[in-house]
Chains A and B, each alone.
Chain A
Amino acid sequence: MHSSRRRGVVALGLTGLLVGLAGCSGGSDSSGDGDKAGGDAKKGGTLVFGTSADPVSMDGAYVSDGESLRVVRQLFETLVTTKPGGTDIEPLLATAYEPSNDGKTWTFTLRDGVKFHDGTDFDAKAVCFNFDRWYNFKGVQQSASVSYYWQTVFSGYAKNEDAALATSLYKDCAAQDGKAVINLTSPSASFLSGLALAAFSIASPAALTKFEADKVTGTGDEPKFEGSFGIKNPVGTGPFTLETYEPNNRLVLARFDGYWGDKAILDKVIFKPIADGPARRQALQSNEIQGYDLVDPADLAALKTAGVQILERPAFNVGYVGFNTAKKPFDNLKIRQAVAHALNREALVKAKYPAGAEVAKEFMPPELFGYATDVTEYPYDVEKAKQLIKESGVANPTLEFWYPTGVSRPYMPDPSANFQAFSADLTAAGFKVVPKSAPWNPEYLNAADTGKTGMRLLGWTGDFGDPDNFIGTFFRTKQKAWGPLEASIYTDLETARQEPDEAKRTDLYKAANKKIMEFLPGVPYVHTKPALAFAKGITGYVPSPVSIEDFSKVSIG
């Protein structure tokens, strides 16, 4: 009797511990208020959104990662933005904008009656204060890892501390009655699209000063961002204010009742960091979160079957096979053309990519202006590839083909599967393929940047809606990764970047795309549509190709 009782205790130990705790919990109450919104679901409530990481900072000027920018976009606003779900520019804090004839002066008419979260007025002085702040960055603030987007759009600073930096595109800003006049050192048409980036959010000058946004102490190997603006006290004009930020646990945004436009429908949005993709999926299934980004393409079908809403962003990326034309045999156009004809891109996209992915014809997505429909195409044709190899004069061509390991990108969910499929195609056409692989970050990216790779799998996701952010990034300047290109490609792209007339610019980019695809520095093969997942009943979220996505229109139905 004694013995059997003890056995029972031991056997039930684990189960008892678990069930006891769980049983007392009274069911799941770990969800957000998603279910609690009940009958009055359209207004109010709390949405918990799963993110892959905490924001690095909520000071838009200092960040370029998606998780930081997502939060910045809810707290701050920019002078212009993109139309919901697209890349066309429309006013936001500016109600109108006008370039001068020479494209070097831009006048922004500002919205009246806008207040920052701290109650101070949004005006032209505030706009100029922000631009001058970014322009006068010093020391580590000038690092590409800190002010990446300023460098991308404006190239340099008031006093460049690195010889590699170019002259700043920004010259100065003048505050006039209800207008901010921004002068540039040279004409740039991509400037306007760039201003829609969350990095150019207008912050409260009073708060930037009070919370020491620019207080960077320490030197050399230990720069310290000591101000609390980006971590505890971000103050913008956006539809939400920061309520609480507990790194590693939660970031809570609350509706800003003094917002100038339509107030946010939700009371609160909580960002919960869950780094692991499968863990985010399970958290949605257990209703601990009601939405998440970066859905694994492999999960799409199962999530849809389970009744989860899948929202796709319009394609704004490109996956490509890049050549380094400084390396043999990629200096030979016939070989590049033979590779292009040998790759069965349609089959790969159909077999390895989720529905919605499309075969790419050029190095930028069709949604973007300047996309040319009549570029030279290289349809899958093994015989033609063999013929081109013969014509190239290269006997038994050997291709050093690089692919990354330990990574999944929206344009390349499984690099090794892409490599295997393409490698088989190339072998069938008569190429000898030498596989080369390296861990994505930093080895693979280093190898690509320094021109070590002969032929590589890579891709790009656009930052803002301008062709300069795609083909300009790749081909406007000489880069070791690509090797030398036809010289006119560089100059054509620089001309297109500067052209203020939108119609002329569109034509210039169309012509550039045609020229690029004739020269064939690589073979673009896919545009994909990254997906977000939301629980049933969540409405109002509009996915954007450039991730300018607004939680203020979201409701729990």
Chain B
Amino acid sequence: MLKFAVRRLLLLIPILFGLSILVFLFVRALPGGPETALLGERSTPERAAQVRAAYGLDRPVYEQYASYIGKVVKGDFGVSIQTQQPVSDEIARRFPATVELALMGMLFAVVVGIPLGFVAGRRPGSWVDNASTVGSLIGIAIPVFALGFLLKYVFAVRLGWLPGTGRQDVTITTEHPTGFFVLDGLLTGDLPAAWDALKHLVLPAIALGTIPLAIITRITRAAVQEVSNEDFVRTAEAKGMTKQVVTRRHILRNALLPVVTIIGLQTGLLLSGAILTETVFAFGGMGSFMASAVFSRDFPVIQGGILFLAVVFVLVNLLVDLSYGFIDPRVRSS
């Protein structure tokens, strides 16, 4: 298992190296550069040239890349052209928001999706099954931004039950030692602040979690249905095992493997940043940050952000692969 993990981690080196070249070339192939984005209507050819020179963008691409990669290996991702702050600081500031939102969204999807998919799979054709099918299709079909605005309109604007923007009430003064606002509240003993941060997570997590919820529900349903028809389940039932034991030990455990794979992949995607959800809820994480970097041609941010997210994606999937061993002893022994 350890060997497997080390091998996968070593694979990161060629992946990141290749990716760095691709991203570097890709951002420079985009029409225009940061100069026009920075200057807007006020751009003139002379001023644009001046800005390009100030950021070294007038040098040959290979020279720019050599200089860039030399710094990256030392852990220096450069400075954002837009905010003038180190990219690593910007990522450190925004990534906790993305993690909080992704975990909350996934928690919502798992807590609702697995039981729903399980019941639907065990009772095909029942009202729960039909409702989950219709709900899943709606969940996949409805655009996230539309759902986000709808949730905000109902629960923030009309009912006033939940906040609809930001990560915490801006009138609350509290410490943020980790950048994870809920955790920060708990660590500093400021429970009202933690509770407030949790409330700010509810609506964006539901908006973000809807698609994973629909997928998890469908996958769980299919897996449960398939496993329920396996010989070993019928044998277990014939041996007189109680329904709960058959369900827990035989059906659920075997059906969980494909579900865990999907959870891993979806979590990786959510951690890459949820552009629309973050934008609609003004929940400043990696997604909205990267999107704005692309629009403003903030090359160091695009490059550093993509490399960072690639590492996150690989690590999350490694964790998923390792978790198979805990769910399925056959994987562990092989």
Contacts and interface: CB of A to CB of B under 8 A. Distances in A.
Nearest to B165: A283
B50 A143 contact: yes
A218 B85 CA distance: 13
A350 to B, nearest CB: 25
B51 A143 contact: yes
Contacts, number: 224
Contacts of B199: 21-22, 25, 30
Contacts of B111: 13, 17
A286 interface: yes
A273 B45 contact: no
B48 interface: yes
Interface residues on B, range: 35 or more
A221 B44 contact: no
A222 B69 CA distance: 13
A220 B56 contact: yes
Given A18-B155, A46-B171, A286-B164, A57 B84 contact: yes
B116 A13 contact: yes
Contacts of A461: 41
A442 B36 contact: yes
A25 B46 CA distance: 56
Interface string A193-225: 000000000000000000000000010111111
Interface stretch (A99-107, A247-255, A340-348): A247-255
Contacts of B168: 249
B170 A248 contact: no
Contacts of B79: 218, 222-225
Nearest to B132: A10
Interface stretch (A123-131, A387-395, A443-451): A443-451
A279 B280 contact: yes
A278 B276 CA distance: 13
Contacts of B64: 221
Given A10-B128, A249-B284, A275-B282, A164 B167 contact: no
Contact of B279 (A33, A145, A275): A275
Contacts of A266: none
B242 interface: no
Given A56-B83, A220-B67, A221-B59, A445 B36 contact: yes
Nearest to A285: B157
Contacts of A145: 34-35, 38-39, 51, 54, 81
Contact of A276 (B44, B200, B279): B279
A84 interface: no
A33 B171 contact: yes
B165 A222 contact: no
Contact of A449 (B45, B55, B78, B157): B45
B31 A272 contact: no
A279 B67 contact: no
A459 B41 CA distance: 8
Contacts of B163: 28, 30, 286, 288
B268 to A, nearest CB: 23
Given A56-B83, A223-B54, A282-B156, A442 B33 contact: yes
B151 to A, nearest CB: 9
B67 A221 contact: yes
B316 interface: no
Interface in A232-264: 244, 246-250, 252
Determine the main DSSP class of A at the interface with B: mixed
Interface in B292-326: 292, 295-297, 300
A282 B33 CA distance: 33
A483 B297 CA distance: 28
Interface string B110-122: 0110011001000
Nearest to A284: B157
Contacts of A252: 170
Given A249-B167, A441-B36, A286 B116 contact: no
B292 A144 contact: no
Given A46-B171, A143-B54, A275 B292 contact: yes
A143 B296 CA distance: 17
B152 interface: yes
A446 B52 CA distance: 14
Contacts of B167: 249
Contacts of A449: 36, 43-45, 48
A479 interface: yes
A14 interface: yes
A170 B243 CA distance: 88
B269 interface: no
Contacts of B41: 445, 458-461
Question: Nearest 10 CB-CB pairs, A to B?
Answer: A442-B32, A221-B56, A442-B36, A22-B161, A248-B284, A143-B54, A144-B47, A28-B160, A30-B163, A145-B38
12 contacts: A9-B115, A30-B196, A222-B71, A231-B85, A248-B284, A270-B170, A272-B166, A274-B165, A279-B164, A283-B282, A442-B31, A459-B41
Interface of B: 31-51, 53-57, 59, 64, 67-68, 71, 78-79, 81-86, 93-94, 97, 108, 111-112, 115-116, 119, 127-128, 131, 149, 152-153, 155-157, 159-171, 173, 176, 196, 198-200, 202, 206, 279-282, 284, 288, 292, 295-297, 300
Given A25-B162, A220-B67, 15 more contacts: A10-B119, A21-B199, A30-B169, A56-B82, A223-B79, A249-B167, A275-B282, A278-B280, A279-B165, A279-B280, A282-B153, A288-B166, A441-B36, A442-B31, A446-B43
